[in-house]
Structure 1
């Protein structure tokens, strides 16, 4: 029963993440919003809320992380190269393409993680990993060209920002290292988002951003903060606790599906057959890599 509840909670969290991406596309399509300004305010608002929650629920770690110079420096670097870079590239990708395509392209991150891990370990990728790389490349080809070498159906900026978001996801996953284990996810995520938001607000000159008073835009933005950060983050942690990190990560990979469904049903964005083919290729890639992780985890648990 506990595991089943964990599965449901994790799936709902992934759906919320997909919904928040579609909310961002709704804002870009209808209110001519700048993705940099939107990312800056989102990070600042979500980070502030998480820091306040952290100070009430985990005050010791929220304070002690600043007493360790190495951990504090790692946190500051992570806030820029992790949260800021990851969120900004994703929002840029949505603004130049759509939420479904941007989310799918971002999920190439696990492929890059695998490649970098093989490089650092000085070993060649295994057959399954090579298949994952090939499927990922085929998926990107179909999404970008619809199978025609002489045609680009996605804008170059949409494709480039989508690929950069995959790089950002890799950095976001690999950079924090032991500080999450030592100080907890809320501490690292809250401070990371808050500092990333402050830095981006200053860098983009948020005080020059045009004010939007349309209630629809405000509601969509609140949905991005709540359903894209606070609620799914908390629910995902509960899901990890109840059904395990590996299974939770596999369940969370339905986020691209959710983003695509919301995009088609709510925003009426047409989806071509070749888009579906490309999406399926990348889903196969995610499955191959997460299945490998699951097998490793099971082997490890048997040995212990």
Structure 2
């Protein structure tokens, strides 16, 4: 038998609101991590591969320490199931792929386009969920989907649709990013009823950290070898583009390709802002929320990330709200209201 979750069991109505709050808090912290990453890239020229490794490793260490200290029996039970191990590998790989494909999607297009493509994960989650349940989307969920996509697009593009850039490679990486997010949202759903949520998330983060370390070290080794022949064409395959992007991110770090030269502020932004708050707390809160409200509503609430980034940029960097920001904020509030209405009706 699986290890039953020891989490507190509030009422069904309370569980939904707790899950919604956690998912929104996680999405907001993702927005905070985005501001920290921008600060590190612009101020210290830190490579995306090193940032991805550090954030995954930090979260994996913190989750593993928490699980070993409080849920050791649950961990042994979870790892003792062969079917659970396969699901955990998919979950962890999806966690890592969602980060690295987003970075490559930005390099292939731009931040606004990548954010809009990333938000399409809600479409895939809803589609796969409805196909598995043999039903159509609920009207409130579908309306929430439209509002979420419109809000993300409005905030990311600031109402200027001319900034959307969709070359073939950029579109492919953007869709890959959306599918990888769909994978890590949906893969562990069947495990949540049998094992402790924190333990499941912790093992997934460990798998993600191992994958990030392998890619980081492989890219560092590839960057250390002088390139032979001409540069790859612009329309190279996605696999070649990923290898080139990873290698170039290391070559840009100069004399110290493995560990960049950071001062105390840089390490605080990387470990504290990106690793602890933007990954450990963000993914923990978001995935815990998804386990309570379900994959469809959780993915919709996760689209609130651009709102979090917008608010944090205004508070931290003094960036003023634009008309597009306010419009996106209203649409995002409408999405949250629709999801809440749908969730409350289901629980009743």
Q: Compute the TM-score of the two structures, normalised by the length of structure 2.
A: 0.66
Aligned-residue RMSD, C-alpha: 4.1
Q: How does 1:9-88 map to 2 (within 5 A)?
A: 10=22, 15-81=28-94, 83-88=95-100
Note if contact 2:115-2:156 (Cα within 8 Å) is conserved in structure 1.
no
> Which of 206, 211, 220 does residue 199 from structure 1 map onto?
211
**Structure 1 unaligned runs (5+)?**
299-304
Work out the number of aligned pairs and report it. Answer: 289
Following superposition, the deviation at residue 59 of structure 1 comes to: 0.4
> Which of 157, 171, 177 does residue 189 from structure 2 map onto?
177
1:259 aligns with 2:271: no
1:218 aligns with 2:231: no
CA 1:106–1:269 in structure 2 vs 1: closer, same or farther (change >3 Å)? farther
CA 1:94–1:128 in structure 2 vs 1: closer, same or farther (change >3 Å)? same
Note if contact 2:151-2:327 (Cα within 8 Å) is conserved in structure 1.
yes
Q: How does 1:1-304 map to 2 (within 5 A)?
A: 10=22, 15-81=28-94, 83-91=95-103, 106=118, 108-139=120-151, 142-143=154-155, 146-147=158-159, 151-152=162-163, 164-205=176-217, 208=220, 209=250, 210=257, 211-215=259-263, 216-223=265-272, 224-231=274-281, 245-246=292-293, 255-269=305-319, 272-298=322-348
* 1:301 matched residue in structure 2: none
CA 1:202–1:108 in structure 2 vs 1: closer, same or farther (change >3 Å)? same
Note if contact 1:71-1:179 (Cα within 8 Å) is conserved in structure 2.
yes
Note if contact 2:148-2:335 (Cα within 8 Å) is conserved in structure 1.
yes
CA 1:135–1:236 in structure 2 vs 1: closer, same or farther (change >3 Å)? closer
Q: Give per-residue Cα distances to partners, 1:215-242, cap 9 Å, x unaligned.
A: 22211011222212344566779x97xx
CA 1:123–1:292 in structure 2 vs 1: closer, same or farther (change >3 Å)? same
**Structure 2 unaligned runs (5+)?**
1-9, 221-249, 251-256
What is the alpha-carbon distance in structure 2 between the residues aligned to residue 145 and residue 262 of structure 1? 18
Note if contact 1:105-1:140 (Cα within 8 Å) is conserved in structure 2.
no
CA 1:263–1:62 in structure 2 vs 1: closer, same or farther (change >3 Å)? same
Following superposition, the deviation at residue 43 of structure 1 comes to: 0.7
Following superposition, the deviation at residue 51 of structure 1 comes to: 0.9
CA 1:29–1:105 in structure 2 vs 1: closer, same or farther (change >3 Å)? farther
* 2:233 matched residue in structure 1: none
Q: Compute the TM-score of the two structures, normalised by the length of structure 1.
A: 0.74
CA 1:257–1:278 in structure 2 vs 1: closer, same or farther (change >3 Å)? closer
What is the alpha-carbon distance in structure 2 between the residues aligned to residue 290 and residue 13 of structure 1? 17
What is the alpha-carbon distance in structure 2 between the residues aligned to residue 236 and residue 142 of structure 1? 23
CA 1:101–1:52 in structure 2 vs 1: closer, same or farther (change >3 Å)? farther
What is the alpha-carbon distance in structure 1 between the residues aligned to residue 88 and residue 318 of structure 2? 40
Following superposition, the deviation at residue 164 of structure 1 comes to: 4.8
